[in-house]
């Protein structure tokens, strides 16, 4: 693997590991999945293939960020916009 | 001018199940996961977005609290703030620190830093006070746009769309002003590792409330903290007649 690609792969691994700290199923579970996913491709030599896999990893980073945001947004909305949710179900409002 | 001040608070993480201390003096915070208040995240995101639109030159993140408050400032820096200010408050002072004291600190800093805009989260998820933004504006005698779901800078004025009970209210206020962020203002970016690394170079200034001439003595005393009453399990009935009988039994009808 070319040196720059190697450092990219390592950076990707580090970034994903950092994101895994908030994973709902637990950091250890995430680390196991991450490790096995990377080890599965450890013998890939073709640079274009590696590039494709790295790009896939970048997509996973974006997905995880979105997952974490949606979780938080949904919980905040439940707590702080209860009135809105109740009105959607037509509960707790006088008819006017 | 052309500077935005953002207040961020370190709170118990929203996903953690909060437990009351056995002596009912407060909640358990030791060893519990803490993170930036969700509404503060939204406030930081808005400030950074305004700077990215070249409407402001600098975004300063401020937090009041013990040493760990710098972690929260670091997150704000990783999200794009330029520098941070840590106002150190520890021990008993921190336990009694509330919106009045924090707003005095923010007002002093807004004047000192010559900020044109102060953006805060609408409320903290630990105390749910919803007071700091309003008090800060009052102390500064600045206009306020609270519960903002949309913020637009128009020259030297700010157009704020507010989430209110009946729907949405649009107001236009002069700068300098205070804005508090509501849930739908924006989608906060996640602070990824590369951004956190880059943020390590950014400066966090350290100061005490006394340096700003602020008295943080609290006029409030927490007497007791209790858990909410446990909800009783519901009862299932087989038929409508059973339901009517149960309602009669409980004296509801």
pLDDT band at B170, cuts 50/70/90?
Answer: very high
Q: Are B7 and B102 in contact (CB under 8 A)?
A: yes
Which among A18, A69, A75 has CB closest to B187? A69
pLDDT band at B233, cuts 50/70/90?
Answer: confident
- Of B25 and B165, the one with more pLDDT: B25
* Pairing verdict, β B83-88 and B58-65: parallel
Q: Which of B77-91, B170-184, B223-237 has the lowest mean pLDDT?
A: B223-237
pLDDT in tens, chain A (96 residues): 567 889 999 999 999 999 999 898 999 999 999 999 999 998 988 999 999 999 999 999 999 999 999 999 999 998 888 766 676 666 655 555
The per-residue pLDDT for A92 is 55
User: Is B183's CB within 8 Å of A76's CB?
Assistant: yes
Q: How far is it, in rounded angstroms, from Cα B87 to Cα A93?
A: 44
Residue numbers of the domain that contains B29 = 3-249
Q: What is the 3-state secondary structure (H, E, C) of B80-92?
A: CCCEEEEEECCHH
* B190 interaction partners in chain A (CB closer than 8 Å): 19, 64-65, 68-69
To test the contact with chain B by mutation, choose from A7, A12, A13, A18 the residue with the greatest count of B C-beta atoms within 10 A, namely: A18
* A79 interaction partners in chain B (CB closer than 8 Å): 125
- Of B15 and A88, the one with more pLDDT: B15
Which among B14, B192, B196 has CB closest to A76? B14
- Check whether B232 has a pLDDT greater than 90: no
Total structural domains within chain B = 1
The per-residue pLDDT for A72 is 94
The per-residue pLDDT for B44 is 98
* B33 interaction partners in chain A (CB closer than 8 Å): none
Average pLDDT over residues B55-80: 97
Q: Are B182 and B133 in contact (CB under 8 A)?
A: no
The per-residue pLDDT for B246 is 86
Contacts with B20 (C-beta within 8 Å, 6 or more apart), sequence order = B26, B27, B28, B225, B226, B227
The per-residue pLDDT for B168 is 95
* B38 interaction partners in chain A (CB closer than 8 Å): 72, 76
Average pLDDT over residues B201-228: 95
Which residue of chain A comes nearest to B147, CA vs CA? A80
pLDDT band at B236, cuts 50/70/90?
Answer: confident
User: Is B189's CB within 8 Å of A65's CB?
Assistant: yes
Contacts with B210 (C-beta within 8 Å, 6 or more apart), sequence order = none
Provide the number of CB pairs (under 8 Å) joining chain A to chain B.
Answer: 36
pLDDT digits (tens, 9 = 90+) for B138-165: 999 999 999 999 999 999 999 999 999 8
The fraction of chain B above a pLDDT of 70, given in percent, is: 100
The per-residue pLDDT for A83 is 67
The per-residue pLDDT for A93 is 54
B 97-126 near A (Cβ less than 8 A): 125
The fraction of chain B above a pLDDT of 90, given in percent, is: 87
pLDDT digits (tens, 9 = 90+) for B86-98: 999 999 999 999 9
Chain B nearest C-alpha distance from A65 (Å): 6
Which among A14, A72, A77 has CB closest to B193? A14
- Of B50 and B230, the one with more pLDDT: B50
Which residue of chain A comes nearest to B186, CA vs CA? A73
Query: How would you class B142 by CB atoms within 10 Å of its CB: exposed for 0-12, middle for 13-18, buried for 19 or more?
Result: buried
pLDDT digits (tens, 9 = 90+) for B213-224: 999 999 999 999
- Check whether B137 has a pLDDT greater than 60: yes
Q: What is the CATH number of the domain that holds B155?
A: 3.40.50.620
Give pTM, 2 decimals: 0.88
Distance of CA B73 to the CA centre of its chain: 13
∠ Cα B15 B16 B21 (to 5°): 155
């Amino acid at each position: 693997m070319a040196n720059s690609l190697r450092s990219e792969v390592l950076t990707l691994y580090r970034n994903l590991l950092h994101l895994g700290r908030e994973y709902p199923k637990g950091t250890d579970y995430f680390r196991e999945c991450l490790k096995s996913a990377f080890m599965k491709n450890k013998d890939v030599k073709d640079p274009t293939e590696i590039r494709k896999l790295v790009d896939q990893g970048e997509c996973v980073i974006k997905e995880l960020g979105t997952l974490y945001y949606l979780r938080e947004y949904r919980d905040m909305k439940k707590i702080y916009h209860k009135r809105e949710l109740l009105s959607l179900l037509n509960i707790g409002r006088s008819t006017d | 001018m052309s500077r935005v001040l953002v207040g961020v608070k370190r709170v118990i993480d929203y996903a953690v199940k909060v437990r009351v201390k056995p002596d009912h003096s407060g909640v358990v915070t030791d060893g519990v996961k803490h993170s930036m208040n969700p509404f503060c995240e939204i406030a930081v995101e808005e400030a950074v977005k305004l700077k990215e639109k070249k409407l402001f030159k600098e975004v300063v993140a401020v937090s009041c609290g013990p040493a760990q408050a710098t972690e929260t400032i670091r997150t704000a820096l990783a999200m794009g703030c330029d520098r941070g200010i840590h106002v150190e408050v520890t021990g008993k002072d921190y336990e009694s620190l509330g919106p009045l004291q924090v707003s005095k600190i923010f007002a002093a800093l807004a004047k000192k830093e010559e900020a044109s805009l102060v953006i805060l989260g609408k409320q903290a998820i630990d105390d749910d006070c919803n007071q700091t933004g309003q008090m800060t504006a009052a102390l500064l005698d600045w206009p306020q746009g609270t519960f903002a779901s949309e913020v637009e800078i128009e020259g030297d004025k700010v157009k704020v769309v507010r989430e209110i009970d009946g729907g949405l209210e649009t107001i236009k206020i002069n700068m300098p002003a205070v804005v508090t962020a509501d849930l739908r203002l924006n989608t906060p970016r996640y602070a990824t590792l590369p951004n956190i690394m880059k943020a390590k170079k950014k400066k966090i200034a350290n100061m005490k409330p006394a340096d700003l001439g602020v008295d943080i003595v609290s006029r409030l005393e927490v007497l007791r903290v209790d858990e909410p009453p446990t909800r009783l399990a519901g009862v299932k009935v087989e038929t409508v007649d059973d339901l009517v009988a149960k309602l009669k039994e409980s004296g509801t009808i």
